[in-house]
Amino acid sequence: MTKIAFDGVPVAGTINFGLGQPSADLLPVSLLQTASDDFYSKAAGLELNYGELQGDERFRETLGSFLGRTYGVPAHANSLLVTSGNSQAMDFVCERFTHPGDTILVEEPSYFLAFQIFRDHGLNIVGIPTDADGMDIDALEETLTRTTAAMVYTIPSFHNPGGQTLSARRRDRLLELSRQHDFIIVADEVYQLLYADQLPPPALGCRTCEGKVLSLGSFSKILAPGLRLGWIQTSADLMAVLLDSGQLNSGGSFNHLASHVVRHAIDMGLQEAHIGFLRTAYQVRLEAMDAALGKHLSNIARWRKPGGGYFFWLELPEMADCAEMRKRAGDFEVGFQPGEYFSNEEKLKNCLRLSFAHYREDEIKTGVRRLADLIATELGS
C-alpha cells in the first residue's frame, strides 16, 4: 500500500493544486487577534484550567446557535462534543466504536488521508461506488446483504475528492439503511458551509435522531486549520459512549483554549462574516478553474463542476497513469494529487484531484495551462 502524506509546504514557483488548504490571504489573522483580545480581556483565570469532558458548555451553546443559523436546525449543547478537528474525531470515533477486523464502508473514491486512520484501527475498508449524486446507495444496500458493517464513512457535501453532493433522497435512504442494519454513519461534513451559490441538502448533523449518526464538523475550512478545533454532533446514546473515554477523563476537553477564542469570534459575528468572505473568494476561484479547464483540457479530460468545497476531480483517458505523471509535474511547475491515492483498491489511476483553494484566479489560470502542457506531453496529444 502506497504511503501517502499531504503536501504541506508550497514550493516557490510551483502552482501545486495538490494543496488542499487555504492561501495565506484567506487565513483570518486579525479576526483571531480580535477574538483572542476579547477573550483574554474578559477571562477570569479558570478558563485556562482543564475543560469539561464534552467541551466548554458556553462554547457548545454558542456552537449550537451557530449551527441553527448555518445548518438551519439549532443543536442542543448536550448533542455536541468538542474535538481537535475532524481527523482527530475520526480517530476517536474508531477508538470508541470499533474493534480490529471490523468493516468500514467508504465512498470510492474517498478522502485519502482517512484511509490511514481507519487502518491504524485495524479496520477492513470496503469501497462503495459513487456517481454525480454521491454514494451509490443501491450498491451500499447490496453490499450490506453480504457484509456486516460497523460504520459507513461519508463526505456528504462537496466531496473530497469528487466534489459532488449526496442527494436528499440518498440521505434519506442512508439513514433508513443505518436503522435497518444498525451501522453508524460517520458524516464528515467539513465542506457543508462552503457552497458556491446553492445550499446543499441539510447536514446529517440535523438528523441525529433518525439513525446512528456521528456528524463531524470542523473550523479548519471555515476559519483556520491551525486552530485544530471541531465538534461531533450526535444522539444521547452515542454521546455516552464517546464520553466514556479514558483520554477525556484524564485531559478534559480536547481543545479548550481554542474553543474560548472561537466562542468569542462567533459571538462577535466574526465567524459568519468570514464564511461569507470565504464563499465569495472560493466561488471566484472555482469559476476560474472551471473556465481554465474548459479552455485548456476539454479535449482530453472530463470533470463535473463542483457546487462548493475545494476540489475538481478530473478523469483522463484510460491509459493515463497520473501517479507516474506527477513524477514529472515539477518540470512543469505544477502539482496535483493522483487519483489512485483516493482509491482503497489502488484504482482510479487515470484520475486526478485539483484544489482551487490555495491559489488566486490568475495563478489558477497559469497552473491549469501548465497542467495541460504536462498532460499533452505525457499523453502525446
Ligand X SMILES: Cc1ncc(COP(=O)(O)O)c(C=O)c1O
> In angstroms, rounded to a whole number, what is the distance separating the alpha carbons of residues 234 and 131?
27
Assess 16 for contact with ligand X (CB under 6 A): no
Backbone dihedral region of 183: left (phi > 0), alpha (psi from -120 to 50 degrees) or beta? beta
Residues for the chain: how many in total?
Answer: 381
Q: Sort strands 230-234 and 311-315 into parallel, antiparallel or unpaired.
A: unpaired
Instruction: Map residues 210-249 to x or -, x wherever contact with ligand X holds by CB under 6 A.
Output: --------x-x----x----x-------------------
Assess 190 for contact with ligand X (CB under 6 A): yes
C-alpha distance from residue 299 to each of 162, 262, 317 (Å): 20, 46, 10
Question: Is 2 within 8 Å of 339 (Cβ atoms)?
Answer: no
Q: Sort strands 134-135 and 184-188 into parallel, antiparallel or unpaired.
A: unpaired
Interface with ligand X (CB under 6 A), residue from 188, 231, 260, 343: 188
Between 93 and 190, name the residue whose CB sits nearer to ligand X.
190
Instruction: Map residues 39-78 to x or -, x wherever contact with ligand X holds by CB under 6 A.
Output: ----------------------------------------
> In angstroms, rounded to a whole number, what is the distance separating the alpha carbons of residues 377 and 85?
40
Closest approach of ligand X to the CB of residue 319, in Å: 29
Place of cell 444522539: 235
User: With CB under 6 A as the contact rule, which of the stretches 84-92, 140-148, 325-333, 338-346 interacts with ligand X?
Assistant: 84-92
Between 101 and 226, name the residue whose CB sits nearer to ligand X.
226
> In angstroms, rounded to a whole number, what is the distance separating the alpha carbons of residues 334 and 341?
18
Site for ligand X in 127-186 (CB under 6 A): 155, 160
Closest approach of ligand X to the CB of residue 228, in Å: 7
Q: Sort strands 337-338 and 351-355 into parallel, antiparallel or unpaired.
A: antiparallel
> In angstroms, rounded to a whole number, what is the distance separating the alpha carbons of residues 67 and 150?
28
Between 54 and 218, name the residue whose CB sits nearer to ligand X.
218
Between 155 and 265, name the residue whose CB sits nearer to ligand X.
155
Assess 255 for contact with ligand X (CB under 6 A): no
Between 98 and 218, name the residue whose CB sits nearer to ligand X.
218
Cell numbers at residue 129, please? 461506488
> In angstroms, rounded to a whole number, what is the distance separating the alpha carbons of residues 198 and 288?
18
Closest approach of ligand X to the CB of residue 332, in Å: 25
DSSP code of residue 205: G
Cell numbers at residue 290, please? 472551471
What residue ranges in the chain does DSSP mark as E strands? 15-16, 80-83, 103-108, 124-131, 134-135, 151-154, 184-188, 213-218, 230-234, 311-315, 334-335, 337-338, 351-355
Between 85 and 307, name the residue whose CB sits nearer to ligand X.
85
Cell numbers at residue 173, please? 435512504
Site for ligand X in 308-337 (CB under 6 A): none
Q: Sort strands 334-335 and 15-16 into parallel, antiparallel or unpaired.
A: parallel
Between 7 and 38, name the residue whose CB sits nearer to ligand X.
7
Closest approach of ligand X to the CB of residue 224, in Å: 10
Between 20 and 55, name the residue whose CB sits nearer to ligand X.
20
Closest approach of ligand X to the CB of residue 238, in Å: 19
User: With CB under 6 A as the contact rule, which of the stretches 83-91, 98-106, 139-147, 334-342 interacts with ligand X?
Assistant: 83-91
DSSP code of residue 204: G
Interface with ligand X (CB under 6 A), residue from 86, 143, 192, 343: 86
Assess 340 for contact with ligand X (CB under 6 A): no
Site for ligand X in 96-135 (CB under 6 A): 111
Assess 192 for contact with ligand X (CB under 6 A): no
Assess 28 for contact with ligand X (CB under 6 A): no
Question: Is 260 within 8 Å of 56 (Cβ atoms)?
Answer: yes
Assess 87 for contact with ligand X (CB under 6 A): yes
Closest approach of ligand X to the CB of residue 18, in Å: 11
Assess 4 for contact with ligand X (CB under 6 A): no
Binding site for ligand X (CB under 6 A): 20, 85-87, 111, 155, 160, 188, 190, 218, 220, 225, 230
